[in-house]
């Protein structure tokens, strides 16, 4: 997804926020299940690369944001230098091997959201023309291949998808798996996503838009499902599926407001506006002749504008991750 309509000033602000966050050790929310009283390890021991930014997945996608901004050439010289140093100096084989070993110890760690962003980061780095960034991607490749190999078995073990609007959402992770696959040279990953996407969502009808959003959503389960099927189906088949699923309109997707962005859960709603914006914009571009295409574009603009007004609030609970969503949806 190419970056659009992102000013250098805004790009620099995303990068500086990401750089500040990935080195901020505390507060930190670990997903590590302690095995006993002697299993006492600090975050940097567990995760020598991705140990800041509040939690592992946020550290991963903040590194992705830095890599993407460098790739797009949107940063000033000083910020670009700092971003490159972070990626090249920290993502090295020795430290990446420790990150990989953790997944052998804890196979379910950060499934599926963290896995998806790790694959996105690795693909972004491997596709860079910068030799140092490409080397960082090669350092992460063993972990990325390990996780890619495990996606199929994990999905096969699931009797149904997770349709929440938060990290465990199945459709959104599958969107990212699909997008990351070419950069990883993993066409098989797209085949896996297509097969399970059809199994999970291919027969969906009459989606209950009135049930969205939940209080703490940062994803739309309905729009993530649409985004996945848009990727895996041919246009005519997708159009027929969308009509049965229920094409959204402005009655279904009003802009939402976070009443307390200092609350980490309520700050999710800022991210919901961002994720709705990119899904709606992509849907309108995919079906430009659809009767609701103009409505989708207007909704995307309104959601994006509302979200941008809530970015960089000074509250770490949202600032540490929302820049990634603003970049992904730019």
Q: CA quadruple 207, 211, 213, 218: dihedral positive or negative?
A: negative
- Specify the pLDDT at position 259: 93
User: Would you say residue 35 lies in a domain?
Assistant: no
In a domain, 3, yes or no: no
Using one digit for the tens of pLDDT, what is the confidence trace for 132-187?
A: 999 999 999 999 999 999 999 999 999 999 999 999 999 999 999 999 999 999 99
Q: Does 38 reside within a domain?
A: no
Query: What is the predicted pLDDT for the residue at 35?
Result: 85
| Pair 25, 82: CB distance under 8 Å | no
272 in a domain, yes or no?
A: yes
Positive or negative, the CA dihedral 75, 78, 83, 84 is positive
CATH number of domain containing 235:
1.50.10
Looking at the structure of the chain, the number of domains it has is 1
In a domain, 248, yes or no: yes
Is residue 136 a part of any domain in this protein? yes
Other CB atoms within 10 A of residue 55 CB: 22
Structural domain includes residue 103: yes
Q: What DSSP state is assigned to residue 91?
A: S
pLDDT tens, the chain, 330 aa long: 455 567 899 999 999 999 999 999 899 998 888 888 888 889 999 999 999 999 999 999 999 999 999 999 999 999 999 999 999 999 999 999 999 999 999 999 999 999 999 999 999 999 999 999 999 999 999 999 999 999 999 999 999 999 999 999 999 999 999 999 999 999 999 999 999 999 999 999 999 999 999 999 999 999 999 999 999 999 999 999 999 999 999 999 999 999 999 999 999 999 999 999 999 999 999 999 999 999 999 999 999 999 999 899 899 999 999 999 999 988
CA pair distance 226, 31, nearest whole angstrom: 30
Which residues make Cβ contacts (< 8 Å) with residue 213, sequence separation at least 6? 165, 220, 256, 269, 272
Find how far residue 163's CA is from the centre of its chain.
16
pLDDT at 63: 98
pLDDT for residue 4: 59
Mean pLDDT of the chain, nearest integer: 96
Give the C-alpha separation, 75 to 6, whole Å. 11
pLDDT value for 329: 85
- Per the structure, the complete domain to which residue 258 belongs is given by 8-29+44-328
Measured distance CA(154)–CA(278) in Å, rounded: 27
In a domain, 60, yes or no: yes
Looking at residue 119, its pLDDT comes to 98
Question: 121-131: buried (b, 16+ CB within 10 Å) or exposed (e) per residue?
Answer: bbbbbbebeee
- Radius of gyration, alpha carbons of the chain: 19
């Amino acid at each position: 997804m190419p970056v659009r309509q992102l000013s250098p000033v805004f790009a620099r602000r995303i990068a500086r926020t990401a750089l500040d966050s990935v080195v901020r050790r505390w507060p930190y929310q670990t997903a590590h299940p302690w095995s006993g009283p002697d299993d006492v390890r600090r975050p940097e021991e567990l995760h020598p690369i991705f140990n800041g930014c509040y939690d592992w997945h946020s550290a991963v996608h903040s590194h992705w944001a830095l890599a993407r901004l460098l790739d797009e050439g949107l940063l000033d010289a000083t910020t670009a230098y700092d971003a490159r140093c972070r990626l090249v100096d920290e993502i090295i084989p020795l430290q990446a091997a420790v990150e990989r070993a953790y997944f052998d110890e804890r196979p379910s760690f950060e499934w599926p959201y963290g896995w998806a962003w790790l694959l996105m980061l690795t693909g972004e780095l491997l596709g860079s023309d910068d030799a140092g960034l490409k080397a960082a991607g090669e350092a992460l490749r063993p972990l990325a291949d390990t996780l890619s190999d495990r996606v199929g078995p994990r999905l096969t073990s699931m009797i149904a998808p997770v349709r929440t609007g938060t990290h465990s959402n199945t459709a959104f992770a599958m969107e990212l798996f699909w997008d990351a696959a070419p950069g990883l040279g993993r066409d098989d990953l797209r085949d896996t996503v297509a097969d399970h996407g059809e199994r999970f969502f291919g027969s969906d009808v009459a989606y209950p838009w009135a049930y969205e959003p939940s209080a703490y959503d940062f994803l739309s389960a309905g729009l993530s499902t649409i985004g996945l099927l848009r990727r895996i189906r041919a246009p005519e088949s997708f159009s027929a599926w969308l009509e049965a699923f229920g094409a959204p309109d402005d009655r279904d997707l009003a802009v939402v407001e976070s009443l307390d962005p200092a609350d980490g859960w309520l700050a999710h709603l800022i991210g919901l506006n961002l994720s709705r914006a990119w899904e709606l914009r992509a849907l309108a571009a995919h079906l430009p002749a659809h009767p609701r295409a103009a409505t989708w574009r207007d909704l995307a603009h309104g959601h994006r504008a509302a979200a941008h007004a809530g970015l960089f609030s000074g509250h770490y609970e949202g600032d540490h991750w929302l820049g990634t969503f603003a970049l992904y949806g730019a």
